[in-house]
Amino acid sequence: MKGWQKFQGPRFFRGLGVALGETPVTLRLRPQDPMRVLRVVFGLMLPLGMMDSADAQSTYTDLTNHWARTCIENLAERDILSVFSSETFRPEDPIQRVEFASVVRQAFPNVEPVRDPVEFIDIPTDYWGREIVQDAYRRGFISPYSGRTFNPTQVIPRWQAIALLTTGLRYKSPEDGLETIEASLVDWEEIPEYARGPIAAGIQNRLVVNYPDPRTLKPTEPISRGELASMICQVQEDISAIALVPQQYVASPEAIATAETPTAETPTAETPTAETPTAETPPVETPPVETPSVETPTATPPTPPTPIAAGNQRWQTAVLTNVLNFQPTGITPDSQVEQCVTDTTGTRQCESISASMDALELAIDGQGFIMASGHRGADLAPINLWDLRTGDRIRTLEGHRGRVGALAIAPNGQRAISGGGDGEIKIWDVRTGTLTQTLTGHTSEVTGLAIAPDGNTAISSSRDRTVKLWDLNTGEVLRTLENRTAAMLDVAVSSDGRIAASSSEDGLVRLWNLQTGELIRTISADIKAVRTLAFSPNGQTLATGGEGTIRLWNIANGDLLRTIARNPEATFFEVAFSNDGETLVGTVQEGDINAIRVWDVRTGALLHFFPTAAAAIALTPDGQTLVGGGWDIKIWRMP
């Protein structure tokens, strides 16, 4: 066999716990395997007190004395576990659906497709695991979670993982399936009836591994990484001679039959049992005839996905803790209202517009206690102030007409500013809700607002094609930074207050010295509108988003660092950095899919997404709370 070599082993391997029979055995080894096999063999010959040097060879740092260590390291060497971190494996962690799809895709690349791919509504086109999910689905190893929803971060119960494996491997359910599981598992009644046949097939093919008791499946508990790895090893043909999984943990009718008469010695996790499987038990290495060969991939292995950084896995555990409702009674998303205006010629023009008062903009104070939400309205557009800790609405501010599309709260939380469709900027006392000043200067809708760290200076953008710098204490325009031929869409200020950024409909982004008003540089960020801007916490990176892309730029020289997302059919409305600068959060509409997405800034990988329509997002300063605003306001917290 190409890429393999033969290795003759004598009968004394039986004494090491390897069931080889009465004749020499031929092991099929890859070129790099002989030394690994010798390490395993001589490791089994050493007393436990002499295993430290062997432990030092471990691929992962957290597998010492783990019962499935040999198996896990074997799979890791073959890149089957590439979806996980390269340093720690965390064998007791539960497997997510997308991780399961990656493992089986890497383990069984020669299994032929059995169905056409499907477009899952919760798998965006730029999701890091999209190709993995599609491939595993086509090969029959994974199914939709519900309808066209995949739910990639959902953990998989043990019964379901086994059923998916046996289905993907084309194992046929035995005619005596019920008798098989009754004779093999003490908790078989907890298995859903429709899954008992596939699980019986797994038992028949010695795929089911139950540690520490082979008789107890615990079917409803999530399958762990180590448990899935052990079952993958039971399928692989190249483990037939030296078992990578201690065989005393493999479920079989014999396990229950012998449980009542235990042997004098209990084998340790590191030493496989010396007993030879009975003649009636299908050998580990022989899958049914209809099972495609999975021994040695003949095709180029799939490209491993980018691992999820450990620090960013917290996004997958975010919990929806509150939903804030503010829509008027009786209003639905389809409700319409007639809005009429009189133009300069005296002609009255009317049109039907949405009657809902969706949240279009969000802002959170420097302590993470107070949140402001700006809304649209057929007449007056309100601003709601919320206690973010309790979800209670503190008060409603009214003063803009049409929509509130820009909001900012000073770092000390005492002052808020809002920009409306009427072109006005209003300054509010957050504590009392009092309107303290109205700033005039823009002649069209205010699209962006940002307050400098000192709390005394603000910058604004408008569809009147200007960007203005304001003194919030006097209400005066300090300078107009830009007067162009394209509408201005957003502004942002760096954390040190030295640099401001502005974006426009023509795809250009300009960086300004906020103290002098000097133009630092112009970045051609996109060929279409750049709708949103965000500085990283350290002020070294600028994120831009709009029609089709999200990109990261080096502030020092204006160079493109990375394209985070690219889809000509998507629109990215807002972006925000996490407090540590390691992740970027954005709102996106892609066809019928609306979501909040989270990317790894370092790798560009899509880490997580929240399937909710949101026009606005905001993060608390500590990075522990994410807020999304649209029809309602949803609040997620990190545990």
- Helix (H) or strand (E) holding 164, with range, is helix 158-168
Alpha carbon distance 402, 422 (integer Å): 7
The pair of three-digit structure tokens given for residue 447, joined into one six-digit string: 């699209």
Alpha carbon distance 32, 306 (integer Å): 25
| Residue that is last in its domain, among 154, 178, 194 | 154
Q: Where residue 243 falls among pLDDT bands split at 50, 70, 90?
A: confident
Mean pLDDT of 514-532: 90
Regarding whether 162 and 130 lie in a shared domain, the answer is: no
- Going by DSSP bridges, is the β-strand pair 616-619/625-629 parallel, antiparallel, or unpaired? antiparallel
CB 60 within 8 A of CB 49: no
| Residue that is last in its domain, among 154, 179, 197 | 154
Q: Where residue 491 falls among pLDDT bands split at 50, 70, 90?
A: very high
**Alpha-carbon distance values, 288 to 13, 198, 499 (Å):** 27, 13, 67
- With a pLDDT cut of 90, the percent of the chain lying above it is 51
pLDDT at residue 319, as a whole number: 84
Regarding whether 380 and 280 lie in a shared domain, the answer is: no
pLDDT at residue 327, as a whole number: 87
- Helix (H) or strand (E) holding 20, with range, is none
Place of tokens 């809902």: 356
Alpha carbon distance 382, 379 (integer Å): 10
Average per-residue pLDDT for the chain: 80
Regarding whether 245 and 142 lie in a shared domain, the answer is: no
| Domain membership flag for residue 342 | no
- Helix (H) or strand (E) holding 530, with range, is strand 530-535
Q: Where residue 378 falls among pLDDT bands split at 50, 70, 90?
A: low
Number of H helices, E strands in the chain: 10, 28
Per-residue pLDDT tens digits for 609-637: 788 889 999 999 998 999 999 989 999 99
Structural domain of 230? 33-94+157-298
> Is pLDDT of 459 > 80?
yes
CATH number, position 557 = 2.130.10.10
| Domain membership flag for residue 443 | yes
- Helix (H) or strand (E) holding 83, with range, is none
Q: Where residue 344 falls among pLDDT bands split at 50, 70, 90?
A: low
Mean pLDDT of 404-429: 93
Regarding whether 209 and 106 lie in a shared domain, the answer is: no
Domains identified in the chain, total number: 3
Q: Where residue 312 falls among pLDDT bands split at 50, 70, 90?
A: low
The pair of three-digit structure tokens given for residue 297, joined into one six-digit string: 């991939």
> Is pLDDT of 431 > 70?
yes
Mean pLDDT of 456-462: 96
The SS3 call for residue 327 is coil
Count of positions (residues) in the chain: 639
pLDDT at residue 340, as a whole number: 67
> Which tops the pLDDT comparison, 492 or 377?
492
Regarding whether 216 and 177 lie in a shared domain, the answer is: yes
Q: Where residue 339 falls among pLDDT bands split at 50, 70, 90?
A: low
pLDDT at residue 80, as a whole number: 94
| Domain membership flag for residue 202 | yes
The pair of three-digit structure tokens given for residue 433, joined into one six-digit string: 């809700």
Regarding whether 139 and 126 lie in a shared domain, the answer is: yes
The SS3 call for residue 636 is strand
| Domain membership flag for residue 343 | no
> Is pLDDT of 551 > 70?
yes
Cβ-count burial of 532 within 10 angstroms (0-12 exposed, 13-18 middle, 19+ buried)? buried
Q: Where residue 56 falls among pLDDT bands split at 50, 70, 90?
A: very low
Alpha carbon distance 232, 102 (integer Å): 12
> Which tops the pLDDT comparison, 91 or 5?
91
pLDDT at residue 578, as a whole number: 92
- Going by DSSP bridges, is the β-strand pair 593-600/606-610 parallel, antiparallel, or unpaired? antiparallel
> Is pLDDT of 369 > 90?
yes
Alpha carbon distance 423, 462 (integer Å): 8
Regarding whether 488 and 363 lie in a shared domain, the answer is: yes
Regarding whether 252 and 131 lie in a shared domain, the answer is: no
> Is pLDDT of 278 > 80?
no
> Which tops the pLDDT comparison, 277 or 409?
409
Regarding whether 107 and 245 lie in a shared domain, the answer is: no
| Domain membership flag for residue 567 | yes
Q: Which amino acid is at 452?
A: A
Q: Where residue 146 falls among pLDDT bands split at 50, 70, 90?
A: low
- With a pLDDT cut of 70, the percent of the chain lying above it is 78
Mean pLDDT of 452-475: 94
| Domain membership flag for residue 25 | no
Regarding whether 247 and 125 lie in a shared domain, the answer is: no
| Residue that is last in its domain, among 124, 154, 184 | 154
The pair of three-digit structure tokens given for residue 356, joined into one six-digit string: 């809902």
> Is pLDDT of 120 > 50?
yes
Place of tokens 């086994």: 162
Strand segments, DSSP code E, in 209-365 are: 319-324, 336-342, 348-354, 359-364
| Domain membership flag for residue 304 | no
Closest CA to 427 of 443, 440, 438: 438
Lowest mean pLDDT among 221-230, 338-347, 438-447, 569-578: 338-347
The structure's pTM equals: 0.57
Regarding whether 90 and 140 lie in a shared domain, the answer is: no
| Domain membership flag for residue 306 | no
Mean pLDDT of 536-562: 93
Regarding whether 413 and 402 lie in a shared domain, the answer is: yes
pLDDT at residue 33, as a whole number: 42
Mean pLDDT of 292-321: 52
Strand segments, DSSP code E, in 257-318 are: none
Q: Where residue 126 falls among pLDDT bands split at 50, 70, 90?
A: confident
> Which tops the pLDDT comparison, 159 or 194?
159
